[in-house]
Structure 1
Amino acid sequence: MAYSNPRTKGTLSRVLSCSLCLAIASSALSNDDLERRLSELATQNETLLKLAQQQQAEIAALKQRLESLESEDQAQELAIQDLQDSAFQRSAAPARKSLNERLIVSGEAGLAFFAGEKNNEFPNEEFRVDDARLFLEAELSRGIYLVGGLELFRRESDDEGIEVGSLFVDFENALGLEGELDRLVNLRLGRFDIPFGEEYLNRYVMQNPLISHSVADLWGIDQGVELYGDLDRFSYAVAVQNGNTSLLRDFDSDKSIAGRIGYQVTNELDLSLSLMRTGDLDAARDQQSELWIGNVVFVPIGSDQTTQFSAELAQLDFSYLWEGGSLLGAYGEAWYHDDDPLGDNGRDFSFYHLEARQSLSDQLYLAARFSSMEVDGGYPIAGNGARSIYLFGGTLTEQLERASLGLGYWINDDTVMKVEYTIENGEQTDGNKRQDTDQFAAELGVRF
């Protein structure tokens, strides 16, 4: 049996108890330290979070300040530019731009061949320089332009001398409007196209897909003042002009008034309505209106006792475009009056035209136009006929119609070759037919 000392056993028991107590105490102290450290970490995290938020606020404020400084710099640059522009406009010294930058020279001409029947205006197979025009455009200052045109050769003219075409000053955005309104009010002063109908905008060599025009062919260039502009899908033009053909004098106080308002129905379809009065013209001194109609101008048809004559007109135009082609047309009416004491010479005109154009390739196209005019009581209308017969020959035309078919080829962007055949027939007030006025024409159009 083994020997056991009770005192030894008691000592061992006490030692074990003390060790256990020390372990428990040590464990308690470790938990307290852990909690303290976790609390310190939480406090540090909260401090760091507040510091990060403060730094983000400082960064945002700095960014806003930088953006404000950039805006101020841009505003200063714009202010400096405006001051420079104002100084340029007020200065009497030569403009900073060179002559080449301020002056644009351009022109166009047709080199044509006409072969008409015996009563045609060109019965002798003629080579002609056709509708040759020279243009100058000078920028006077921002938004102000001087525009001039010289008619070197005009198809309708019986004078071989050079004629003044347009000569006017354009004030773009005349009221200084901003944003979408900056194109609403523009002012034109001088000599310019009568803003009636749409055909006059496309009747010359490079714009006209054919060589001939419609029977009515309403156009004219006159002195006066014009307001024009556009807003969204609407456009307008209204002009007050002298009304007669004289370049130097107006022999009556009554003025010509013409206006057109347009609306773009869709991206393909456009409509416009035009109204005009020639004003009362002096039969002896004015003698004729500036507005052309039927390849002549309005002239008095009353007796020698007629002192005044006038005309009013209205016309509706449309154009429809598609890829590679277009269809356009117009219908209009006109009313002529005079004060002849010997009788009523009033005349009612009605006229229309339809024109189609279709590209056959990138350079080749086909074009056709049909047009007609009727005058109740007859009027001296020349059309494609010789003026010596149908204007000065004393015959009055009651009805005239024309059909034209042509082919065009764009050699490049500034050179086009066109050929056309035109058939024209009509009736006169004496019952005779208008005939033998058909024509063949070929033309090379160029521009620079």
Structure 2
Amino acid sequence: MKATIVTIGDEILIGQIVDTNSGFIAKALDRIGVQTTEMLSISDDKQHILNTFSALQGKVDLVIITGGLGPTKDDITKKTFCDYFDDVLVLNEEVLAHVTEMIEGFYKRPITQLNRDQALVPSKCEVLFNKVGTAPGMWMKKENTVFVSLPGVPFEMKHIIENVIIPKIVKEYKRPYIVHKTILTYGQGESMVAERIEDWENNLPEFIKLAYLPSPGRVRLRLTARGENEDILHKKIEENVQSLSNIIGDIIVGFDEGETIEVAIGKLLQKQGNTIATAESCTGGKIAQMLTSVTGASSYFRGSVVSYATDTKISVLGVDAQTIQEFSVVSSEVAKQMALGVQKLMQSDYAIATTGNAGPQKGDADAEVGTVFIAIATPGGVIAEEFNFGQPREKVIDRASNKALEMLRTAILNKIDC
């Protein structure tokens, strides 16, 4: 099956809200072997919606639409469905009873005519019951294309997708299997990774595709296999992942979307019974945020000091003012003292420190914009490295944060004795 996801709403097109619905729906469809070929965002305009439906008719098997099902006049999806399918709106008693119960029973207020109108649906549609909201979904088929309309409220949409749409598709349609495997690498750019694995990539089976998903400081490699035999797909994916690990195992830190470097570091620290703290200047707390995003981080994360100002480095972390005067606040020497200072302050086994010029202007130092020093304090001592991450500012912060975690992971694995 091939699908197109359509979001309806001017608020999306003007950037007032971010469309998260499409990503959720695409992932849900992918898990059951439905391939999303296109995502569209269109305005709350009747003719525009009708034109979109006509363009997709016969092009894909499934069109999932979100938005425009509310009770106000600007929500026109139901009426537009009637125009496209030459249908009329009728009152659905089951939906009306549910809406009445929600408004009068849960919200404790009288039901209005606008609320009652939520129970109006096209007479030819299959109603997709919405237990967590007042707007029902609609399932209608024209020739070989199914059109599904869902509320735009994310938690309502997710409920119908997970409890109604996905089970219905699985039961009624035959689909191929789609198997994904994501390999997370750190420390080398996309072009270098591609060069290292070129021969491996050229020898992948035809039914396995490779995608590069780069971001500052890391590259995700996603393998996708499609076919009729799920066991064979899993077997071939694992065989190729193993051969890939033999080639670039030195930069692989995890597998699949949830196995980030933060998760990997957490597992290592928990296994060794060690703790970590951070002292951040130019990264502004980003490293601490990444580490604490992992469930259970409280068992190994001791705390953080965002010592953005020079005097804070001195008064809180104990950095020597003479060292700053002699070497500059953006220096290897200061980074090391910051790491040792927060390690002592938080009584942690490991510590990360960053100091640099993220830009766009220089701060209290003469170092070039983009320059960052990262220090790692271990139970055996402290090391520091210098980097220049260029510009813009956001890129510097992201790359510095990722590089710091990469260095920490290496230090833990190798138990570096400095």
Q: Which has the higher strand share?
A: 1
Q: TM-score under structure 1 normalisation? A: 0.22
Higher helix share: 2
TM-score by length of 2: 0.23
Higher relative contact order (CA 8 A, sep 6+): 1
Higher Rg of the two aligned structures: 1
